[in-house]
Amino acid sequence: MHLIDSHTHLYSKEFDSDRKESIERAIQFGIKDFLLPNVDLESIVPMHELVDLFPNNCKPMMGLHPCSVDESVDEVLGEIIKQFRSRKNEYIAIGEIGIDLYWDRSFLKQQQDAFSRQIDLAKEENLPIVIHCRESFDEIFEILDEKNSDRLRGIFHCFTGTEEQGRRILNYGDFKLGIGGVVTFKNSGLDKVVSKFKLEDLVLETDSPYLAPVPYRGKRNESGYLMEVAKKLADIFEKEIKEVARITTMNCKDIFRL
């Protein structure tokens, strides 16, 4: 069985004490690939150190996370793009990018500009994007409507929207919905929304160290817990877990050209 964790921050400090062991545990469960979204300038070095440690398993992305956007966005994004161009053959996507209005709306304009510019970069380089959306569906859709084309593709990370929002996402160029631990939460209602789609529309993710699935909710998430997400989708779609793994892995390979 071959599973892909399409979104994990295994390079983060939360794994400093057992990073190698955490990855080896996941590999034993059949999770063979770990796709690493960048966050800011500080995350670039630890991300690449992890790729060097597991070159056959870990694959980096490059992007500026919306929560890392402030009044210095032009300077920081310029450095992000410079880093991308210096090693662009190594990156599988532009991400994690998007808009986050949960904590603070004061940098909305800067977030919109950074999101737009990074989409342009992805289309220019024929790479997928990985979208972070929190309290910002309307703002995200406004930009995607403007940028939509047959060169637009990617993952809508940590999808927790409605069926209508999910359908709208899938109507853009070529997108999949990233499904993680929230689908296992009893009162999230996400399982009912996900059941309206096909496995062919989905990829699996952990977003570790965040959003650990049941029965690990509240603890540090890790890529090995992706199995709990896969089991939940097997229940929702009444499929064998090996079939869930086969389809979602194929979806991921297709979007990221793995």
What is the predicted pLDDT for the residue at 147? 97
Taking the alpha carbons at both ends of the chain, their separation in whole angstroms is 17
Alpha helices in 133-240, H assignment, sequence order: 137-147, 163-170, 190-194, 226-237
pLDDT tens track for 160-200: 999 999 999 999 999 999 999 999 999 999 999 999 999 99
Rounded to two decimals, the pTM is 0.97
52 near 253, Cβ under 8 Å?
Answer: no
- Amino acid type, 185: F
CA angle 153, 154, 155 (to 5 degrees): 150
| Architecture of the domain made up of 3-256 | Alpha-Beta Barrel (3.20)
36 pLDDT band (50/70/90 cuts)? very high
Q: Tell me what percent of the residues of the chain surpass a pLDDT of 70.
A: 100
pLDDT of residue 112: 98
CA distance 247 to 201: 9
* Distances 107 to 73, 74, 102 between C-alpha atoms, Å: 10, 13, 12
Query: In this structure, are residues 247 and 234 in contact, taking their beta carbons and an 8 Å threshold?
Result: no
Q: Tell me the HSE value of 105 on the side-chain side, using a 13 A CA sphere.
A: 3
How many percent of the chain have pLDDT more than 90?
Answer: 99
Question: Contact, 112 vs 143, CB < 8 A?
Answer: yes
State pLDDT tens for residues 93-128.
999 999 999 988 999 999 999 999 999 999 999 999
Per-domain boundaries in the chain: 3-256
| Residue range 66-89: mean pLDDT, rounded | 96
Place of tokens 């990370």: 157
Residues whose CB is less than 8 angstroms from the CB of residue 29 and which lie 6 or more positions away in sequence, other chains included: 3, 224, 226, 227
Contact status, residue 54 vs residue 25, Cβ threshold 8 Å: no
Tell whether the torsion through CA atoms of 32, 201, 143 and 153 is positive or negative.
positive
pLDDT in tens, 207-248: 999 999 999 999 999 999 999 999 999 999 999 999 999 999
pLDDT at 258: 96
Q: According to the model, what pLDDT value does residue 103 have?
A: 87
Cα 171 versus chain centre, distance? 19
DSSP calls for 87-130 = SGGG-S-EEEEEEE-SS--TTHHHHHHHHHHHHHHHHHHT--EE
* 58: helix, strand or coil: strand
Q: Identify the pLDDT of residue 138.
A: 97
The mean pLDDT value of the chain amounts to: 97
Radius of gyration of the chain (CA): 17
50 pLDDT tier (thresholds 50, 70, 90) = very high
- Give the residue-averaged pLDDT of 3-31: 97
Mean pLDDT, range 4-31, rounded to an integer: 97
